[in-house]
Amino acid sequence: MKIEKIEVRRLHLPLKNPFEASFGVLAKRDFLLISAHGEGETGYGESVAMPFPFYNEETTDTIHYMLETFMIPMVLTNKIEAPEDVSRLFEPIRRNNMAKSAIEGAVWDLYAKQKGISLAQALGGKRKEIDVGVSVGIEPSVEDVVKKVEGFVAEGYKKIKVKIKPGFDIALIDALRKRFGDSLPLMADANSAYTLDQMDVLKKLDQYNLIMIEQPLAHDDIVDHAVLQKQLKTPICLDESIHSAEDARRAIELGSCKIINIKIGRVGGLTESKKIHDLCEAHQVPVWCGGMMESGVGRAHNIAITSLSNFTIPGDTSASSRYWAEDIVVPEVNFLKPGILGVPEGPGIGYDINWRVVHALQVEEKSYTM
């Protein structure tokens, strides 16, 4: 395949409501929209780092630097037959997975468009519709979260995930179970806010029939999670701890989790995401697609990967209206039926860029050729 030009645009996209997790508060997405041009087609990708290094080590600035200094020159000067070659080309670069993923995603979209097939089809996805959930942030009070959840349940979301942190955990889950009963598909995401010293709280959480507890312990741990999993009946799901198929293999072997959250950016792209998916499928470990509050471009990639067979649990890819007054794609990401998104069948990601919105939001634009 030919890749003739790469463009990088930096956008500031304000969230409808600030989103709080144990690592901090996000008021707007600050991200890079990557365009990869070749053979008359354009593929799109997006960088998903937070503006601060409190979820993982990357930020939008480190991504921009790594892309400009290393990854864009590598992609423009090497022969690339298929997107997997990009993933292989980046192997010597340690980590910086979100930078790798931003450009690899654009190349995957370009590849699918050059072949005239959908991104889901290029990835081997079969599903035409996907069930989706919503991730609900921390609010000033338990009652505020309950109110938000009421709205999302009414919209039809198939899974409710709430963010927890020490001091904002048991009372929240207890209130949600009292309000919605035991059948609500409910889970909690701690973003690494606990240690094994808080076993009493973690054991209490274990009493609420949660679908899973996501990343309760340290962001770089799989050993303590294995200790914890042995003491809980609730499945542990790893997010922050998994950066590659090798990480997933080790976590599964150690018994650190029973479910894995695949985020395309966190693991360095769609090629690695597929590897983790396949490995988990072989080990009967279900996966679901996590989110980083992506714009429509990133969520289109999430929808495509979620069409693979082992994505059996609703992910965090919510409709555009959950995040933005106006998204950067047309059509916006809308429900086909309540809680269900359609997997686009048109070429590539299956969404067009809303250039009016992009131009209104962009704060920087750069173009790279050989």
Q: Which stretch binds Mg ion (CB under 5 A): 69-77, 168-176, 182-190, 249-257?
A: 182-190
Contact call for residue 311 and ligand OSB (CB under 6 A): no
Q: Which stretch binds ligand OSB (CB under 6 A): 109-117, 278-286, 289-297, 349-357?
A: 289-297
Residue 327 annotated as part of some ligand binding site: no
Contact call for residue 316 and Mg ion (CB under 5 A): no
* Min separation Cβ 239 and Mg ion, Å: 4
Q: Residue for token digits 């909690």?
A: 188
173 torsion bin: left (phi>0), alpha (psi -120 to 50), beta (else): alpha
Contact 229, 200 (CB under 8 A): no
Pick from 31, 44, 55, 324 the residue near ligand OSB by CB under 6 A.
55
**Four-residue CA torsion sign, 35, 38, 42, 48:** negative
Q: Give the max Cα distance, the chain.
A: 61
In the bound state, the residue with its beta carbon closest to ligand OSB is 291
- Give backbone dihedrals phi and psi of 286, rounded to 5 degrees, phi first: -70, 150
163 part of the active site? yes
Contact call for residue 135 and ligand OSB (CB under 6 A): yes
Contact call for residue 239 and ligand OSB (CB under 6 A): yes
The C-alpha torsion from 106 through 272 and 241 to 90, rounded to 10°, is -70
Q: Residue for token digits 């919105």?
A: 357
Angle between helices 245-254 and 270-282 (to 10 degrees): 30
Contact call for residue 189 and Mg ion (CB under 5 A): yes
Residue 169 annotated as part of some ligand binding site: no
Catalytic one of 159, 161, 163, 274: 163
Query: Binding to ligand OSB (CB under 6 A): which residues in 213-232?
Result: none
Contact call for residue 239 and Mg ion (CB under 5 A): yes
Q: Which is nearer to Mg ion, 242 or 245 (CB)?
A: 242
Contact call for residue 294 and Mg ion (CB under 5 A): no
Q: Which stretch binds ligand OSB (CB under 6 A): 99-107, 148-156, 173-181, 286-294?
A: 286-294
Locate the DSSP E strands across the chain: 5-21, 24-38, 41-46, 129-131, 134-136, 160-163, 186-189, 213-214, 236-238, 259-262, 287-289, 329-330, 340-342, 352-353, 362-369
Contact call for residue 293 and ligand OSB (CB under 6 A): yes
2 part of the active site? no
- Give backbone dihedrals phi and psi of 13, rounded to 5 degrees, phi first: -115, 110
Catalytic one of 100, 159, 161, 263: 263
Whole-number Å distance between alpha carbons of 188 and 172:
10
Give the residue numbers of the binding site for Mg(2+): 189, 214, 239
Q: Which residues bind ligand OSB (CB under 6 A)?
A: 21, 55, 135, 189, 191, 239, 290-293, 316, 318
